[in-house]
Chain A
Amino acid sequence: MTASSKPQIENLTTGSGKLQADTIARWLFQGAAFLVLAVLVWMTVVMAISAMPAISKFGFNFLIDKTWDPIQEQYGGLTFVFGTIASSFIAMLIAVPVGLGIAIFLTEDFLPENVLTPIAFMVELLAAIPSVVYGLWGIFVMAPFIRAFETWMNTNLGFIKIGDKSIFGTPYGPGLFSAGVLLSIMILPTIASISRDVLKAIPKSLRNASLALGATRWETIFRVMLPAASSGIIGACVLGLGRAIGETMAVTMVIGNTPQIDTSLFAPAYTISALLANEFAEANEPLHIGALFYAGLLLFAVTLIVNVFAEIFVRRVSSGRQ
């Protein structure tokens, strides 16, 4: 006893060396955190300066102008903003219900735990696939199915129109709809796995209270579990949305890259990120470069807003569960 207590006392007296290391580590991490913030501000400033030629020439008109013509030096971002928002919207329309369904399935005891855990793991693995692989898969595997689906929709529901143009117009394959479907698969793991974690964290006692009152499993899910998890689920969805809005490679490969706003869901379109990826290499004129930076700034603003919202919602959940 006495022999073993001796080294402990020595450790106590030499403890100041440890404290020193703590202080250094804290400074390092604080510095790193500050650096990240500085890079963010610096990037924004550089982008704004590079975008200046376009900002001073087009002003806010850039937001409502549909033409993108490098030859006439006339630039407007509306078609790209539309493509970005519309493709993300389609993605959300598919991924939110499916992702929530998966999350519910993985938290309920429909299947034994040792079957559910690998499934949950595989859903998370979907997030690890590089987006260029998604793009290739989208072109070679998904596109034929999408085309067949589009053809079916066009023949059966082609009569649904806005003005005199069909919503389910000529089937293309690559286009807004393909991009939306591909994006929905890409953001599915985000929505499904975060929603699952949130649902799992709801105290079992709430579930039991509802069942003991005579509610069925589904009544319990819809009336107690989902409402209790709602802000976390919204956070998950907004994170997914942020990813969909910023996604570049896969979308560039399947959206058709045509700056237009068509009534047909199936028509080719263009997104801001696809525009930047495609045109930066060949942009020489300051105005062209400026217009691209301007578009980039718009994208940055949108993703920033979306992510801030996500952060707020997720925060609210984790702080509300004490």
Chain B
Amino acid sequence: MSSTTTTSNAYQVRNMNFFYGTRQALDGINIDIPAQSVTAIIGPSGCGKSTFLKSLNRIAEAETKVRIDGQISLFGQNIYDPKVNLTQLRRRVGMVFQRPNPFPMSIYDNVAYGPRVFGTKGNLDALVESSLTKAAIWNEVKDKLRTSAQGLSGGQQQRLCIARSLAVNPDVLLMDEPCSALDPIATLRIEELIENLRTQLTIIIVTHNMQQAGRVSQNTLFFNTDESRIGQLVESGLTKEIFFSPKDKRTEDYITGRFG
């Protein structure tokens, strides 16, 4: 991304190929993802957006057998180095999933989960409060912190999950279609909070909603599948350039189709 060379890069991805077992899902991905900004990932269903995201915190390998070649580095460190501590990596790279997935515990315990696992010293109450505040849900839950998280609405649960990720103070937040299970108002609240978090951390968000990508992101990556149904990165750049003057025909078709 030539136009963003002023900021440093969070991720550098070089010649990355991703395989589920023997089936290739991503082919030759090369991209720099700038820090302290929001990068949107768009593309048709099955093109490997989630796969790409899951390779960035190495959660894919916890689900099934996968193989990844090439290099992905986070702030200059190769995250696929055998010496990398997965726990530390995932602590620095938080993830918010498509469906809200709060633990079946109280709201407080959900947010305190990460800090407790890491034995974080200091005032847990204050940390829980600040995380919930950053996730723009503190006012709604401050009087019922000890009640079950499963009693919250879908949108509240999703913001709680964001708070849970923020509580371990990550550098990067990966979000996989975080609003697809939410109504427009809940979606708007999440978009606002992404806007507010942008200055503090790097956010990478997968979305099917072009308007959303346009509203929240500075940069956009467009993924697509080739003839053999393997995902590839077709085009990347500033969001407004991708949207208004795409260089690739496929990007243009996808975006006009989506807006149409």
A209 contacts B90, C-beta separation under 8 Å = no
A203 CA / B103 CA spacing, docked (Å) = 10
The A-contacting residues of B in range 33-85, CB under 8 angstroms, are 57, 59, 62-63
Residues on the A chain within 8 Å of B99, using CB: 205
* Proximity string of chain A (203-242) to chain B, C-beta cutoff 8 Å, 1 when within and 0 when not: 1111011111111100100011001100000000000000
B90 contacts A208, C-beta separation under 8 Å = no
Residues on the B chain within 8 Å of A206, using CB: 101, 103-104
A219 contacts B117, C-beta separation under 8 Å = yes
Query: With A208-B59, A208-B62, A208-B63 as given contacts, are A213 and B91 in contact (CB-CB < 8 Å)?
Result: yes
B104 contacts A227, C-beta separation under 8 Å = yes
* Size band of the interface chain A makes with B: 10 to 19
A213 contacts B117, C-beta separation under 8 Å = yes
B59 contacts A213, C-beta separation under 8 Å = no
Q: A230: nearest residue on chain B (CB-CB)? A: B104
Residues on the A chain within 8 Å of B88, using CB: 214
A224 CA / B109 CA spacing, docked (Å) = 11
6 contacts between A and B (CB under 8 A): A205-B99, A205-B101, A209-B97, A209-B102, A210-B113, A213-B114
Query: With A214-B87, A219-B117, A223-B117 as given contacts, are A209 and B62 in contact (CB-CB < 8 Å)?
Result: no
A216 CA / B118 CA spacing, docked (Å) = 10
Residues on the A chain within 8 Å of B87, using CB: 214-216
A154 CA / B251 CA spacing, docked (Å) = 79
Name which of A213, A219, A228 has the most chain B CB atoms within 10 A of its CB.
Answer: A213
Interface size on B, residues (CB 8 A): 28
Query: With A206-B101, A223-B117, A228-B103 as given contacts, are A214 and B59 in contact (CB-CB < 8 Å)?
Result: no
Q: How far is the CB of B131 from chain A (nearest CB, A)?
A: 12
> In the complex, which of the residues A209, A215, A216 contacts B101, with contact meaning CB atoms closer than 8 Å?
A209
A223 CA / B101 CA spacing, docked (Å) = 15
* Proximity string of chain B (150-181) to chain A, C-beta cutoff 8 Å, 1 when within and 0 when not: 00000000000100110010000000000000
> In the complex, which of the residues B89, B97, B102, B116 contacts A208, with contact meaning CB atoms closer than 8 Å?
B97
A204 CA / B59 CA spacing, docked (Å) = 12
Residues on the B chain within 8 Å of A204, using CB: 63
A203 CA / B105 CA spacing, docked (Å) = 14
A214 contacts B168, C-beta separation under 8 Å = yes
Residues on the A chain within 8 Å of B116, using CB: 223
Q: How far is the CB of A228 from chain B (nearest CB, A)?
A: 5
Q: How far is the CB of B180 from chain A (nearest CB, A)?
A: 14
Q: How far is the CB of B260 from chain A (nearest CB, A)?
A: 33
Residues on the B chain within 8 Å of A223, using CB: 113, 116-117
A210 CA / B57 CA spacing, docked (Å) = 13
A206 CA / B165 CA spacing, docked (Å) = 13
